[in-house]
Structure 1
């Protein structure tokens, strides 16, 4: 498949800190690309740079052939890019419904789309009229993903959706993202749970110290413990 998103020599500085040092990788259209790396490697900074929350100091972020690196975040979102941040980004004082209404930037909620999303995440229907602050941690993460997909998006950036979640919730998230993948929505996923990364990923990029140190097929990395040790200093099969 052609590449939908490409980062070319991206550098990001935050105050006096130089976080990204020439990041280069691509995200093929219609698949799931997993961004792996140790804590502090620059994964979240990469996601925030793509969304324009932090501005690239150098290099280009190309989306469908257009350089979006100088656009502001609302303009990037209007290109059809959704973002699920690590901190979830939900409004706890608003109901589940109100959270989704705010996320549906193009107009009223589409009933068919709501039915599809609540089919993926049944607790959203159960707690539809309750404040989002009443949800459990896993349910809040479901709401965060629901907000990103309540309207069709061409690309979804998802930052560590299973962090701190119970195994049953993780499995529900895998199932939901597989269904999202079937709609030809492209996904860039930061994920520490290798079982999830392996289950969903088509391609993978590995970061270390603000640089991409490996790019390739997810299946290749998943099947090569020696390569995992070389890139990240651990066997991912034992690091679930």
Structure 2
């Protein structure tokens, strides 16, 4: 079996008249965390949405665990074992924390052992279990969004900018939660703009620019190469720590 759980080959995506992805090639190693970095508008979110079938690839192929999912509808892609946490979190503000998690469980039942593990990652969710999700803080809502994605075991997690707008202390809590997720052998593709979080979490990195992947490699190597950071991202990670 391939060491790569997900493969994109020559993927193009059009949204209306706009050509957003221009032949994306991307391989996501099984059981590791891959950072997807790039300037604003580089195509990172479009890549995640195309993987999930929310936007259809107009050319190229997407293979997940050996299965071609390029043309599958989003519900089938989710059923195949991929969870997606969008940038806007997509929680149900009028429902309680508990109800949000029940809805995310495919059979409507919450595994008490897995729930205990989730509470270990995000203690605030247990504290606010019966409260409407809309009253949670921004960081707590993000925790709930991630908890919804992992309420059942998933083979692949696609997560879009989980630390955006969060206070530094909450970001470090989020980093610790992702480290715990990594320790379980989860495969994660993470879009992130916080470079300290990227440095702490990433095993691998792919950098996008203008709808293409322009760099692939080890996250540690990019983290140590200020000149390459400047070339690829227009700034140095050291300036954002």
Same fold by TM (over 0.5)? yes
User: Superposition pairs for residues 33-48 of structure 1, below 5 Å?
Assistant: 33-48=34-49
Residue of structure 2 in register with 1:127 after alignment: 128
Equivalent-residue separation in structure 1 for 2:230 and 2:134 (angstroms): 40
Aligned to 1:59: 60
Give yes or no for the alignment of 1:89 onto 2:80.
no
Aligned residue number for residue 210 of structure 1:
211
What's the CA shift for 1:25? 1.2
Distance 2:218 2:20 in 1: 26
- Structure 2 stretches lacking a partner, 5+ long: none
- TM-score for the superposition, normalised by structure 2: 0.98
What is the rounded CA distance, in whole Å, between the counterparts of 1:146 and 1:26 in structure 2? 25
What does 1:142-181 align with in structure 2 at a 5 Å threshold?
Answer: 142-181=143-182
Distance 2:87 2:128 in 1: 22
CA distance in 1 between partners of 2:60 and 2:163 (Å): 31
The secondary structure found in structure 2 opposite 1:171 is helix
Give the Cα–Cα distance (whole angstroms) in 1 for the partners of residues 164 and 233 of structure 2.
19
Aligned to 2:73: 72
TM-score where L is the length of structure 1? 0.98
Q: Deviations over 1:25-77 (max 9, x none)?
A: 11100000000000000000000000000000000111011110100111000
Residue 102 (structure 2) pairs with residue 101 (structure 1): yes
For 1:194 and 1:134, locate their aligned partners in 2 and report how far apart those are by CA, in whole Å. Answer: 29
| 1:112-123 matches, cutoff 5 A | 112-123=113-124
The match for 1:3 is: 4
Structure 2 residue 140 is matched with structure 1 residue 139: yes
CA distance in 1: counterparts of 2:107 and 2:146, whole angstroms: 18
The root-mean-square deviation of aligned C-alpha atoms, in Å, is 0.9
Q: Secondary structure at the match of 2:7?
A: strand
Q: Which residue of 2 aligns with 1:225?
A: 226
Structure 2: how far apart are the matches of 1:42 and 1:136?
Answer: 28
Deviation at 1:106, TM superposition (A): 3.3
Partner Cα separation in structure 2 for residue 196 and residue 34 of structure 1 = 10
Write the distance in 2 (CA, Å) between the matches of 1:103 and 1:179: 21
Shift of 1:239: 3.0
Task: Report SS of the residue matched to 1:192.
Answer: coil
How big is the shift at 1:224? 0.4
Give unmatched runs, 5+ long, in structure 1. none
